[in-house]
């Protein structure tokens, strides 16, 4: 787990770094808002601990900029400002939590842990992944090797069911009952037709087959 700490006070920054590293986190510590925003914009962290009183950019502005860029990394503001209006502004600008200085070490760890747990729990519900295939269930978007692929509603729902049940053989009756609300005549090649559509759309972006036909049983999505 990687955490970005943006803190210009060397004593506080070093303390936060040691506390989090002792808990087992990998920590990147930076002292300026511009560098902090640049690193955070890459979206490779599990949590960001952000000071407000930075020398070059106000922490609230950084928070707002990151959310405008669709960076959804959990963000904990760690600041000496304890006025209610500042706390409210921080949360309004997209922060997930606010902790005032001086702080208790165990409370800092507990808040960071909670933010990361919640973030990954939500991610697991929001994103489905199988190798180079990735689907965002909230935005209803599908990607192959980071290339967005346009799927019809039926193709999207079928693909989502396979991603949720990858590495398991799925029969036609199960697909009829769970993917299409009204079902379909399982004696037809309905599933084969839609799988052929999806395969054709995936093929230009990967060398893997992903879908396997299991004779007399059904189909399986696998990253093997």
Among the CATH numbers 3.40.50.10800, 3.30.300.30, 1.20.120.160, 3.40.50.2300, which is that of 2-125? Answer: 3.40.50.2300
Q: Which residue shows structure tokens 């060398």?
A: 207
* pLDDT of res. 124: 66
* pLDDT of res. 138: 81
Which residues of the chain are in CATH 3.40.50.2300 domains?
A: 2-125
Please check whether residue 60 is in contact with residue 90, taking contact to mean a CB–CB distance below 8 angstroms. Answer: yes
Which residues of the chain are in CATH 1.10.10.10 domains?
A: 131-221
Per-residue pLDDT of the chain (224 residues), as tens digits, is 899 999 999 999 999 999 999 999 999 999 999 999 999 998 789 999 999 999 999 999 999 999 998 888 999 999 999 899 999 999 999 999 999 999 999 999 999 999 999 887 777 677 889 999 999 988 889 999 989 999 998 899 999 999 989 999 998 888 877 886 545 555 557 788 889 999 999 999 999 989 999 988 999 999 98
Check: CATH 3.40.50.300 for 131-221?
Answer: no
Inter-axis angle of helices 105-126 and 10-22, nearest 10: 60
> How many whole angstroms separate alpha carbon 21 and alpha carbon 171?
48
């Amino acid at each position: 787990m990687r955490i970005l700490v943006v803190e210009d006070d060397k004593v506080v920054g070093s303390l936060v770094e040691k506390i989090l590293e002792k808990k087992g986190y990998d920590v990147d510590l930076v002292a300026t808002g511009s560098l902090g925003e640049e690193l955070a914009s890459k979206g490779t962290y599990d949590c960001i601990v952000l000071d407000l009183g930075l020398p070059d950019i106000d922490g609230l502005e950084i928070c707002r900029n990151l959310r405008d860029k669709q960076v959804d990394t959990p963000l904990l503001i760690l600041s000496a400002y304890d006025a209610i209006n500042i706390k409210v502004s921080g949360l309004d600008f997209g922060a997930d939590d606010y902790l005032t200085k001086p702080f208790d070490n165990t409370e800092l760890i507990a808040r960071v842990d909670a933010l990361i747990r919640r973030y990954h729990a939500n991610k697991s519900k929001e994103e489905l992944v199988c190798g180079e295939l990735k689907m965002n269930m909230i935005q209803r978007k599908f990607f192959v090797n980071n290339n967005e692929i346009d799927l019809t509603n039926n193709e999207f729902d079928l693909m989502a069911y396979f991603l949720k049940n990858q590495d398991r053989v799925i029969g036609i009756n199960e697909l009829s009952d769970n993917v299409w609300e009204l079902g379909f005549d399982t004696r037809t090649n309905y599933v084969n037709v839609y799988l052929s559509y999806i395969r054709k759309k995936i093929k230009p972006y990967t060398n893997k087959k992903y879908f396997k036909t299991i004779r007399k049983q059904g189909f399986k999505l696998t990253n093997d």
